[in-house]
Structure 1
Amino acid sequence: MSNYSVPKKMNESADRPCKVSALFALIFVLSPFLMANKPVVAQTLSLEQALQLAIQYDPLLKGNAHRKDRFNAEAEASSYWVNPQVSASVQNLPTDGFAFDQEPMTQVKVGLKQQLPRGDENHYSQQKYQVMAGQIFVQSQARKAWLKREVTLTWLDWVYATRRIALLDKEKSLLTQLLDFTESRYNQGVGAAAQQDILQVRLALLSLDDKYVQAYQQKNEARSALSKWFGVPLDEPVSTPLTQSTQASKPKLIEVDAIFNDSNLSLSSFLTVIESSEPFSILQHHPEARLLQIQTQIEAQNVNIAREQTKSQWAFEASYGYRQDAQNGASRADFVSLGVQVDLPFFNKSRQDASIAAAASKMSASETDFRLKVNELAANAEVLKSRLSALSERKVLYETALIGETQQLSEAELTAYTTDTGDISEVVNANLKQVQVQDDLLKIDIKRAKTLASLAYLYLPTHAHFSNKE
C-alpha cells in the first residue's frame, strides 16, 4: 500500500515576530534529532507536550496580562480628583488709554478652581476597575481549561486517525494472507476453490484503498487542526505516541492523564469526585459561572455610580486680583476672592431615576445569566456522566466478549473453508468483522477519552478553586 500522507510545507511567513519564538520552541520539542551518519528519528508529540505548548503560546493569555495591567492602572487613576483649573485675566482695562493705573477697577486677576468628585463616585469607580482586573484572572483560568479541552479533543482525533490506519494495515495483512491461501488452493486444485473466491478477496483488498485515503485525510486534517494551537505547522516526522503495532494482539489503551497533571488528581480520584459531587452546587464555582458573578459585581458598582449622580457636585475657587497704584501715587489695595459652586441635580430627577433603574436591571439580568450558565454546565455534566457510564459498559462488553467471539468466528470460518464446508465470502466477512470490532472498540476508547476531557473541563477548575481556598 502506498503512503497517502501529503507532505506539508513550512509556513513561509515564519519571519513574523509573533511566530518566531513558537517556531523555535517547536523545532526544539517537535523536530527530529539529526544524528551524524544516522537516519532521521521521528519525534512524538504527547498530550502533555501539546497542552504545554498551547498554553505557553496562546495569544489571549498573553494579552490578558496587559489587560490586567490596564485595569489596575485605571483603578489607580480613578482614585484621583480631576485636574485643578488655573485662570489668568486682565479685568476692567480702560479702552481710552489702556493704562493699568488709570482706573481703580483695573486689575490683573489670577484664579484657582478645584472641582470635587460627585459623592463617592471615585471610590466606586476604583472598586469597579479592581473587580475588572480580578475578572481577567478568572478569564485566564477559563481560557486554560478551555484550551486543555480543545487541544485534547483535537489530539484524540489525531490518535484515532493514526490508530485506524494501523487497523487498516492489519486488515490488509489478513486479506493478503487469505489471498495467498486462496490462490494456493486454486492453483493446486485443492477442494472447491474457484476463481470467484480469488476475485472476492481481491475486491475486498481494493476496497481498502478508499478506506486508506479517508484515514490519511482524517489524519492530515487532525494534524492541521492541532497545529493551529502552536502558530506553526507540525513537522512531517512528528507523530502521535500511541501508534498501534500490526503485530500487537491487543491495542494500547488511550490515556488522557496529562489533563490531570495540574490538579494533583489521578483518573480514579477524579471519577470519585464527579460521582460524589452535586453538579448544580459545585459548578457555581466554574470559571464560566464565576465570570458572570464578577460581571454582576461590576454592574453593582455601576448602580452605585449611577446613584452618586444624584448627589451635588461641588467646586471651590480662589482668586487674587492685583491693582496698580494710582497715577497720583495713591495706594490701591489688592483683592482676594473666595467662591464655591454646586450644581443642582434635583431638577433632572426623572432622568437620574431612569439611569439607576437601567443599571439595576442590567445587574439583575447578569444574575439571571449566572443561574442559566450554572444550569447549562450542570446539565452538560449529567449528560457526560451518563455517556461515560454507557461507554464504560460498552468497552467491557467489547473487551470481554465481542473481540474473542469474532476471533473464534474467523478461525471457524477459515477451518470450514479449508475443509470445503464453508464459503470464501464468509471467511472474508469474518475477517473484516474482526477488524471492524477492533475499530468499534477504538472509537469507544476515543469517545470515552473525549468525555473524560469534557468532564475535566467542568470539574477540574472547580476542584482547583476549592483547593486554593484550603
Structure 2
Amino acid sequence: MATLFIVCRLATADEQPLLTLEAATQKVVQDNPDLAQTLARAKAMAAIPSQEGSLPDPQITFNAMSLPTNSFSTRQEDMTQIGFGLSQGIPFPGKLALREQAAMYEAEAATLNADELRLRLLSDVKTLWWQVFYLDRTREIVDNNHTLLQQFVDIARSKYEVGEGLQQDVLLAQLELSKLLDQKINLGGMRRSTVAKLNALLDQPANNPVQLPATLSIQLPEIRQEDRLYQQAESSRPMLESDRQGIHAAQSKLELAQKDFLPDFNVEAAYGARNNMLDGTRRSDLLSLGVSMNVPIFAASKQAKAVDQRTSELMQQRYALQDRWNAVRSEITQSHSDYQRAKQQFVLFDTGIIPQARQTVASMLAGYQVNKVDFLNLVRSQITLFEYETQYWKAFTEAQQALAQLCANVGEDEIYE
C-alpha cells in the first residue's frame, strides 16, 4: 500500500505550539498527578521492609525501689536501691525474615502497579490524541465539502436563472450546506470535550488550546500473532507480575501466621545500685537477669484463625491472578481483532472505495452540467464521498487506537513483525 502524507500547516509565532504524539506521551509520564502519587506510594512502601525486618526497639527503665516514705533516704533501709534496666523483645527465629519478605513483595507489587498505571495513561493519551486527530481531519473534510456544495449551488442557480434548472435543486443544495454547518458545530463541541480530557491527563487547564501536527506518515504496520502476544504479556505485563508478587506476599504471611504458634521472647537485665547504710555497713549492688515469653493458650481462637485467614487470602490471590490472565488474553484478542478489522477497512477505502467515489462525483458533475444527470444524484454522490472519506479517517484512527490499547495490554511496544 502506498504511503500517503498530509500537508503540514507551519505554526507561526502567535499559534499554539504543536503537540506531537511523542510530546504528549512524554508529558503524561512526567506531569500526570495520578502517576506521581502512585510512584510516591511505591517509594513509601519500599521503605517498609527494613522496618518490618528490624527488632523492636529496646526499653530502658529507671527506678527507685523500697524508698522509706518517712525520710526518702537511700541509706536507711537495706532493700533500698536505685536501679536501671534494659529489655529487648526477640521474635521467634524466622518471624522477622518473613515479615520483611512479605513487605518486600508488597513494595515490588506497588512499583509494578505504578508501571501498569503508566501503560494505561500512555494508552489513554494516545487514544485521545488520535481522536483529536480524527476530528481535525473530519472538520477539514466538512470544510472541503462545504466549498464543493457551494459550487454546486452556484451551478444550480446559474442553470435555474437561464431556465435550464429547477429551483428545488438550489434549495436542496442549500439544505445540504446547512447540514454541513450543523456537523461542523457538533465536531467543534466533540473536539473541545476530547481536548479537555487530554489536558486533564497532561496536567493542563481543561481549556488549554491543543494544536496537532498535520504531517504524518499514513501507514499501518503488521503486528504479531495473538499467541506470540500472549507470551509477551505473560512476562511483560506489570499487572500480572504484581499479582504474582501478591501471591508471594500472601505465602509469606501464611508462613508467618503458622510461626505465630511459637512464642516470642523478652530478655531483661537490671542493675540496682545501693548506698552504704547510715552506720557505715557496706551493701553490694544487685544484678537481675530474666527471660520471658508469651504463651499462646488461645491458639484455637487466635493463631489457628489467623492461619485460616491467611490461607484464604493466598487462595484469593491465586484466583485473582488466573482471572486477570484470562482478562488480559481477552483484551489482547479484542485489540488485535479491532486493529486487523480497522486496517482492512482503511486499505479498502484507500485503494478502492474512495477513488471510485471520486470518479463517480466527477462523472456526475460533468453529466449534470450537460443535463444528463439530475441534481439529486449529484448531491447524493458528493454526500456519499463525504461519508467514505470520513470513514477512511475513522478506520485509520481506530487502527491507531487499537495499537495503543494492544501495547498496553501486552505491556510493551514490541508488537510488530
| TM-score in same-fold range (> 0.5) | yes
SS, match of residue 355 in structure 1:
helix
Residue aligning to 1:355: 306
* Residues 1:78 and 1:276: Cα distance change in structure 2 (over 3 Å): closer
Q: Give the drift of 1:98.
A: 4.2
1:168 aligned onto 2:142 = yes
What is the CA–CA distance in structure 1 between the aligned matches of 2:283 and 2:118, rounded to whole Å?
Answer: 75
Distance 1:186 1:33 in 2: 44
Query: Once the two structures are superposed, what CA deviation does each residue of 1:277-332 show, in whole Å capped at 9, x if it has no partner?
Result: 162x4433311111111111222222122223211111111222233323333222
Paired residue type of 1:164: T
The percent of aligned pairs where both chains have the same amino acid is 22
Question: Partner residue of 2:94?
Answer: 120
1:232 aligns with 2:204: yes
- Cα distance change, pair 227–99 in 1 and its aligned pair in 2 (3 A): closer
2:33–2:203 Cα contact (<8 Å) kept:
no
Which is further off, 50-59 or 321-330? 321-330
Q: Corresponding residue for 1:136? A: 110
Given the alignment of the two structures, is residue 370 of structure 1 paired with residue 321 of structure 2, yes or no? yes
User: What is the rounded CA distance, in whole Å, between the counterparts of 1:433 and 1:347 in structure 2?
Assistant: 80
Q: Following TM superposition, by how much is the alpha carbon of 1:333 offset from its aligned partner in structure 2, in angstroms?
A: 2.5
Amino acid across the alignment from 1:361: S
SS in 2 for 1:417: helix
In structure 1, list runs of 5 or more residues that go unmatched. 1-31, 35-39, 244-251, 257-266, 465-470
2:81 corresponding residue in structure 1? 107
Contact persistence 1:403–1:434 (CA under 8 A): yes
Can you give the 5+ residue segments of structure 2 that lack an aligned partner in the other structure?
A: 1-10
User: How far apart are the structure 1 equivalents of 2:18 and 2:281?
Assistant: 99
Match in the other structure for 2:214: 242
Deviations 1:335-370 (A, max 9, x none): 222111111114424420110110121011011101
* TM alignment of 1:150-299, pairs within 5 A: 150-189=124-163, 191=164, 193-233=165-205, 238-242=210-214, 254=218, 267-268=221-222, 271-272=223-224, 274-275=225-226, 277=228, 279=230, 281-285=231-235, 286-299=237-250
Matched residue of 1:389: which SS? helix
Report how far residue 447 of structure 1 moved.
1.2
Deviation of 1:428 after TM superposition, in Å, equals: 0.8
CA distance 1:85–1:234, shift in 2 (3 Å): closer
Contact 1:310 1:349 in 2 (8 A): no
Give 1:33 shift.
6.0
Using the TM superposition, name which of 62-71 and 384-393 deviates more: 62-71
Relative to structure 1, is the Cα distance of residues 317 and 415 closer, same or farther in structure 2, using a 3 angstrom cutoff?
same
Contact 1:254 1:449 in 2 (8 A): no
Which residue among 385, 404, 415 is the counterpart of 2:366?
Answer: 415
In structure 2, distance between residues paired with 1:343 and 1:68:
35
Cα distance in 1 for residues equivalent to 2:71 and 2:337 = 97
Separation in 1, partners of 2:355, 2:63: 101
For normalisation by structure 1, the TM-score amounts to 0.79
Q: Deviations over 1:85-122 (max 9, x none)?
A: 22222223334554433332222232222221233222
Match of 1:406 among 357, 367, 377: 357
> Could you tell me which amino acid in structure 2 is paired with residue 363 of structure 1?
L
Q: Residue 318 of structure 1 contacts residue 337 of structure 1 at CA under 8 Å; is this kept in 2?
A: yes
What per-residue deviation string (whole Å, max 9, x for no partner) do you get for residues 416-458 of structure 1?
3233333211111111111111111111111111111111112
Contact 1:119 1:308 survives alignment (8 Å) = no
SS of residue matched to 1:348: coil
Q: CA separation in 2, counterparts of 1:242 and 1:43? A: 13
Between 285-294 and 65-74, report the one with greater CA deviation: 65-74
Give the conservation status (yes or no) of the 8 Å contact 2:82–2:274: yes
Alpha-carbon deviation of 1:235? 7.6
Q: Is the 8 A contact 1:320 1:336 kept in 2?
A: yes
1:443 pairs with 2:394: yes
Tell me by how many angstroms 1:46 deviates. 1.1
Distance 1:236 1:126, change over 3 A: closer
1:62 aligns with one of 31, 36, 41: 36
1:92 to 45, 49, 66: 66
Name the SS of the counterpart of 2:35 in structure 1: helix
SS of 1:421's equivalent in the other structure is coil
1:335 and 2:286 aligned: yes
Check conservation: 1:93, 1:99, Cα contact below 8 A. Answer: yes
Distance 2:414 2:367 in 1: 58
Equivalent residues in 2 for 1:375-394, closer than 5 Å = 375-394=326-345
Deviation of 1:238 (Å): 4.0
